[in-house]
Amino acid sequence: MRNGGIEVVLLTALLVGGCGGERGDGGVIQLSFGHVGEPGSLFAVSAEEFARRANVELAGRVQVNVFGSSQLGGDELMLQKLKLGTLDFALPSTIMSSTVDAFGLFEMPYLVQDRAHMRRIEEALVWPVLVPKAEERGYTILAVWENGFRHVTNNTRPVVTPSDLAGIKLRTPRGIWRVKLFQAFGANPSPMPLSEVFVALQTGVMDGQENPLAQIYASKFQEVQAYLSLTGHVYTPAYVTVGASWGRLPEDVRQTLRRLAAETQSFVHETAAGMDADFLGELRDAGVEVNDADREAFVRASVGIFEEFGNTVEGGEAMVAEALALAEGA
């Protein structure tokens, strides 16, 4: 195929899902919200709650339609669609660290103590420092939601210390620091879209993966994984993000959607806390062997990642220091 043909195929793939901000029957503006979460996941519940609120408050003017399960593509493709204006909302998480270097802050292990600490970091660093950097790349962040505290599952052995990860083929999301982290722990990490992970685990292409409990359960990984190790190694925020189509909306509609996205954060955090407790029990009941990890051992093994981030990302050392200083009792 000639280069022109390749370009046509690529453009067609990017445009799948329709044009963002289209007016449907009756002049109602149809907005699409894409995410990678499976039904029942925190991503799904969060996006659906936001859409419900928006569709009530903007009834007759705007309809927000949610497409989960990577229906509109993986995170990387959806970010491209935001830039093209063919997707209106996305909910990227780890992928942001590969898009804007400074977002690697949230790839630093054991940085975020709890959700209250995260809210302090959000106020001090996300809005004044990270959000403007995203805007420089063409992305507008409306609110900070959650993916959650991440844990390791696998079919080889319980993971108590980093040495237990030696040789394990571990799926990670597409984030450079997550790959570096698990390499430092001794695993064999490989980025892969979430939509492909179940089959990879089922067939043995991957031995394990790492995700928040809600994502693990909603993705049905308990059907293909023997061990769950509560490492809590990274807390990943999720960002309600818009792109080129945002500016085409009326100003009052933009203000309402921005406010509703921010207001939905409380619902997201409360729901996430409940899911953590509920899904841990569900995973145990499904026959998955659950163990606590040695947090101190993982923290010791993470020192080099902090040093590399501080040395290679502009302002990295200062951001880490400020985030740590905001922890309770710091």
DSSP at 124: I
Q: Which residue has the tokens 């109602």?
A: 28
**What pLDDT does 83 receive?**
98
Q: How far apart are CA 143 and CA 172, in angstroms?
A: 24
| CATH architecture entry for 3-325 | 3-Layer(aba) Sandwich (3.40)
How confident is the model over 80-139, as pLDDT tens digits?
A: 999 999 999 999 999 999 999 999 999 999 999 999 999 999 999 999 999 999 999 999
Query: Per-residue pLDDT averaged across 39-48, rounded?
Result: 97
- Whether the CB-CB separation of 201 and 221 falls below 8 Å is answered with yes
How confident is the model over 157-168, as pLDDT tens digits?
A: 999 999 999 999
Burial group, residue 92, by CB count within 10 angstroms (0-12, 13-18, 19+): buried
For residue 303, pLDDT over 70 is answered with yes
State the average pLDDT for the chain. Answer: 93
- Whether the CB-CB separation of 236 and 150 falls below 8 Å is answered with yes
Parallel, antiparallel, or unpaired: how do β-strands 227-230 and 188-191 relate?
unpaired
For residue 150, pLDDT over 80 is answered with yes
